[in-house]
Structure 1
């Protein structure tokens, strides 16, 4: 799968995703760190990427089903804590995305 990581998540998440066999790019790697949510949404749509974000605004921006959103509902965390939170949930997330889910909310 191909992922686009939003600004409020760390670039280290890209490395973790790549280690799990996925393509991943952080907005900072493509000069979009200061881009608007609208521009980031358009980029996810154009690239056919799953957008990973903690930002609730993307729920509305994805309508009508413009791109796949993986919405992480976790608080601020260190890189290590984020990965520790995500790791036990990841297999289920991959299944849902692989089955065609277009909005996956992770708590």
Structure 2
């Protein structure tokens, strides 16, 4: 991902915790992400469509990152979503999904007690 100067975090589900996008924190975390296994994601997706399903109440990817673009030359045009725990990144391209995990937070998250 590149051109983070205009990037903004948008809450897209009411289950999202208060979070803040900080370009430097995100960039440092992004440099250390690893491609991860998406097994179970289709089950999560199906459950999230059911209004009374448990996933409906707690969205797995409640944040969208808008204004950021793929690196020049990558040819990737994707929507970016951040996981509720602040450590997962889902890139949704036209015909594929890419899922990455970080050991560290990519967002400034509120502390829950």
Report the structure, 1 or 2, having the larger strand content: 2
Q: TM-score, normalised by structure 2?
A: 0.25
Q: TM-score, normalised by structure 1?
A: 0.25
Highest relative contact order (Cα 8 Å, sep 6+), 1 or 2? 2
